[in-house]
Amino acid sequence: MIEVDQLSKTYGSTVAIKDVTFSVEPGEILGFLGPNGAGKTTTMRILTGYLPATEGTARVAGQDVHTASMAVRQSIGYLPETPPLYPEMTVEGLLYFVARIKGVSAGDLATRVTSAIERCNLQEKRSVIIRKLSKGFRQRVGIAQAIVHNPPVIVLDEPTVGLDPRQIIEVRNLIKSLAGEHTIILSTHILPEVSATCDRITIINRGEIVATDSPEHLVAKITGQSGYFVELKGDVEHSLSVLSAVPGVVDVAPMAIEDLPPEHMRFQVTTGKDDVGSVIASKVVSEGLELFELSRNRASLEDVFINLTMQDAASESDELHANEPNASEPNDVSAIEPDDASERSLSETSASDQDTAMHSEEEASE
């Protein structure tokens, strides 16, 4: 349904996105995830025809974004970060207005507007002026205007920003209800939103795609390990020895936690990919230790996100430091770049000319 291939956008010497490539299957919800300034909004604007790409191609519903821009726009429902609403209009009036702009035929107008109102649960607000709505309801109206013409593709840019927890849950449920019939790209930097809503995730960082997969596979591939929190009562050294001897346990580390009952100790047990929870429990009990808690400690999507984005930042920092000149080395004029050398030569010549002119003026005045 959506195919993006080697998409790049530059502003002068600034690279906003570089060689962005991903695809979205029909009926799928793709989470487009990245930190602020990573290139999410730029990519969304190119896909929706708001912004031309510098290089690369993008196809939506079989149409090229560059050569068939109007056809692509008719195939997309777009909710930017700030919903495009007219505050003086009623909810119903706005939806009729947008439906006409989107080319909905006169015979289908009432049906399409009513369907959008019902799907976004706006029945009680259809005659209310938009400026009187809460932020949560305005966000729903924004989604309603994106789906009023029943597009095959919906692009949502930060749809839950600024909402309270209850409103966030309502919008998430609404987005999930649209899947199947529509293909959805959800652009966000809110990790729980992606985990709760999306089938697959594409992570962009510093303008480049760094990973694409399902949330579960991303966690499994990047972390490779899981573990358990274990709370025991007994001797610390004996507890460490017992836990370390369990097959499949990679590491055991005591945890410094206040307010534990006397003689209780909590450990973080790192394991490989095998599920060894039952083995840990059996071993602990058979060795005479009292087991008070055994809970999973799985890697999260947040761990994956930090791993991918921070790793890239660290490598770039190392590269910058490696390229810095050594402060102890003497300055070498021959090491100056040609442009800088010619600039310096020009400025020195100019200064020499100024000195000559000043001496000439002084001799003339004498």
Give the C-alpha separation, 139 to 147, whole Å: 13
**Domain at 2-220, CATH class:** alpha beta
Strands 153-157 vs 76-79: parallel, antiparallel or unpaired: parallel
Token representation of residue 330: 């003497």
Q: What is the pLDDT of residue 336?
A: 38
Give the C-alpha separation, 161 to 158, whole Å: 6
Could you read off the pLDDT of 9-51 as tens digits, one per residue? Answer: 999 999 999 999 999 999 999 999 888 888 988 998 999 888 9
Token pair 């690279």 is found at 15
For the domain with range 225-296, which CATH number is right: 3.40.190.10, 3.90.1150.10, 3.30.70.3100, 3.40.50.300? 3.30.70.3100
Q: What is the pLDDT of residue 9?
A: 95
Q: What is the pLDDT of residue 273?
A: 63
Strands (E), 256-289: 264-271
pTM of this structure: 0.67
Q: What is the pLDDT of residue 311?
A: 58
Token representation of residue 175: 């987005």
Local mean pLDDT, 10-residue blocks, the chain (366 residues): 93 93 93 88 90 93 90 90 92 96 93 94 95 92 94 90 84 88 87 85 92 81 72 89 90 83 87 81 91 81 78 50 47 42 44 48 44
Give the C-alpha separation, 230 to 236, whole Å: 12
Secondary structure (3-state) at 8: strand
